[in-house]
Structure 1
Amino acid sequence: MWNTLVSIFPYAIAYTIPMLMTSLGGLYSERSGVTNLGLEGLMLVGYFASAITIKMTEATLGVQALPLGLLVGVVAGAIFSILHAFASINLKADQVISGTAINMLAAALTVYLARTISGSGNVRILMGIVRKNVPVLSRIPIIGPLFFSQSYWTTWLCLTIWALSWILLYKTSFGLRLRACGEHPSAVASAGVNVHRMRYFGVIMSGALAGLGGSVILITYSGEFNGTVAGLGFLSIAALIFGQWKPLGILGATFFFGIATTIANVSQVIPSLS
């Protein structure tokens, strides 16, 4: 049983990280006062942008194409989220409808561009991130084999972003103003805070982090853009609600969903789970 747990745990973490980043992005948007149901579409945009970037540069840049693709995915998600921000904040459109439109537009646009550029709906990359053991920490009994063995460097990057986001939202005056924009926008506006600007920041951050989540899927366990993120964006929204819109809560919720997804995927090939 222990060997089974050690073998599936790295996969559970790999499934958790994209959802964690996307849920964290949804937290920024939600706390600023804008509901973002377009996280699935924003993940897809980051997924596609990373795939195209890496595909075009991997022959010349080698492994350096991977962080470049990650960065482009973040930027693409942030830019695409401006559509939702403009519709929700400036035009006062229904946020649910706007988010749904983002999902539909992203799905159609990315598949169309993939077929136009590559000739098919899939964009395959030739390389990905290699799993490595964390020096020293991977040798700690029990904890080491579970958390610090066979891990991706993107895991530690994303956990750092999660920790910094917790500090930003709950330990700084900027985070206080951002949360106040979602809870008492009129009071914050009377204090001189530009509510529209803060909400734009929240929505754009949600797009950037969702794009990061999609990019992580590509360079860790997927290896190709195939037109879907398999509903992970919607699972991220569920994790955001299940985690009560708190950083620690969404960490636990996404980890729970990550374990459940892993067990569902490997239960047929591991005797002790079948």
Structure 2
Amino acid sequence: MRIDILTLFPNMFSGVFSESILKKAQEKQAVSLNVINFREFADNKHKTVDDYPYGGGAGMVLKPEPIFAAVEHITKNSSTQPRIILLCPQGERYTQKKAEELAKEEHLIFICGHYEGYDERIREHLVTDEISIGDYILTGGELGAMVIVDSVVRLLPGVLGNEDSPVQDSYSCGLLEHPHYTRPADFRGMKVPEVLLSGNHQLIAEWREKESLRRTYLRRPDLLAQYPLTEKQKKWLEEFEKNKR
């Protein structure tokens, strides 16, 4: 996968992209991460990328010229059609399902805005996706782009050591992930559930399924509205509801 980031603050990405899983993914050549300062594509001697909005109002608006020019420069020799993602608080709420969708692409381009907003022609005629990582406002799209890149790259084949890890993550299967425990089995009187020490893989799998459902019921019951519950899981939910009373 190739990922290009258009930003006015490229140094923000240096630490994130050179550590942990993102660093390993690049070393394995699973992904190419490129950060581009779109100010370099401004068509004026002062390299201005923003201007006052027509009609008046507070703040400055990003001009279309440098962003269009930067995308055209990136894609001029490309054989594939990239997904061009605008980081925007008005965009689609980001989910694990969206991460899995983007992980199937060969080329992603992220546009990180600043100031009051974007010229509407960028939104209407250039981007393929508008994404928000939550209902709050950041000073720019850079942090959102980092979040999305991390969540997508870890899904690429060969990036994580255990291929089952992304499949078992919270939200990937529609439920929150079950609790985890490690050594020691008894820490200050706080003990690991006996079933996890039993060696019975069938019982352990059932315990994990039930605890995953319990955690979802307690923390994110909204996820259960669209989840295809089995008869066994329905009975567990009835049990949770009785115990809650």
Both proteins in one fold, TM over 0.5: no
**Highest RCO, 1 vs 2 (Cα 8 Å, sep ≥ 6):** 1
- Greater helix share, structure number: 1
TM-score (norm 2): 0.23
- Greater strand share, structure number: 2
